[in-house]
Structure 1
Amino acid sequence: MTVKRIVKAIKFSKAFKVYIVIPLYSEGIPGSSNLQEILHWQYHTLRYMFKEINRNLRLYKSSASVEDYLRFFFLGKIETPPKTQVPQIPAHQIYVHSKLMIIDDYYCLIGSGNINDRSLNGSRDTELSVGISQAYFTPYQENGEWALPKADIYGFRVLLWVEHFGEYYDWMDNPGFQATWDKVVEIATENYKAYLNPEIYQKKNILLS
């Protein structure tokens, strides 16, 4: 689903941005067979996505890269440890178990279903999800440019971004803009450096790349 939509954007030389937040690592014992199987299929899923997008970039002779369309992030937290004699871990991941998709600030899907065919095609896993749309608030053209609606779903997404970045910035209003994409990647990359060296950096935002 995601790859097909990105390929469509590549074919017609259109900008398209997909932000995906997943756990840095799955819950469980790293060496257990259950966790290894999860990591196995996660690796092959990501590998397929990157290979298929890359193949189509070459097919349509695009100078773009996979990272111009698709980015993966995770959430982490850097704590200030209390002054005790017990060893503390100042940096840790925030385990993402939410199933949430927001499309162009006018459609939102949230529930127990994973964003894949197994959960969403209606004939396999039993799940419960809610699709939310605002019929009178859809993307529109303004001075020849596409603009996103600014209604309740927009407000919900921006609140999530504020929680992830620590405060509100104007560039959050337009997630499809290249400048926004670049800023998110820049901040998330810096946050990852802080995550690896928590004794050097102190960050209040939690999105990492």
Structure 2
Amino acid sequence: MRSLDRMTLRERALVALREAILTGRYGPGDHLGEVEIASQLSISRGTVREALRHLQQEGLVTPGVRGMLRVRSLSPDEIDELFRVRCALEGQAVSEIVESDGLPQIIDELNASLDKLEAATGDLTEQLEADLAFHAQLCALSGNSILLDTWRHLEGPIRVVVMSASTENRRFPMWAGHHRPIVEALERGDADTAVRVLREHMQAAVRLLNSKD
């Protein structure tokens, strides 16, 4: 029973800390003090430490001065590198999808994801979740499990970068209209166009996310 309670507390701490980072209560570079967090959440420092360790694995936090963890902060060059790697992975997913025997069903699933993204026009967090769900599904539908696992390791840093950008700059890349040409090209079996549109989409996102406006 004690281990169950401990697990429940860790999960609660994990959810609370992740939400605080993704909503901007803790911004990039902010230190995450175990004592302060433990006091705020009324839990032990050990439980906080476990939750922070998990968030480090997700790529949301990173070691700072004297080993104290802080919210991950990416430089403009690192943001560019992050999205270039992401584009390479999703481009490979596109190439493998086009060669799939189940392409019609895949297109139906991707269009359903785009419909959800189009409907998520209010809350920014909901919109981000719908956007990332589409891109994760693109990787999953390639049938390449290693590709999907690798993409998942980028998800935490992507979330931090998007949520720390200005409101309009983070909204624009997530519009469904920017994603539909990718699916339309896939439906035609045109991998080259799908990859080109995907690359242009990622490049535009980097420019906006690195903008100070």
Q: TM-score band (shorter)?
A: under 0.3
Structure of greater relative contact order (alpha carbons < 8 Å, 6+ residues apart): 2
Q: Which has the higher helix share?
A: 2
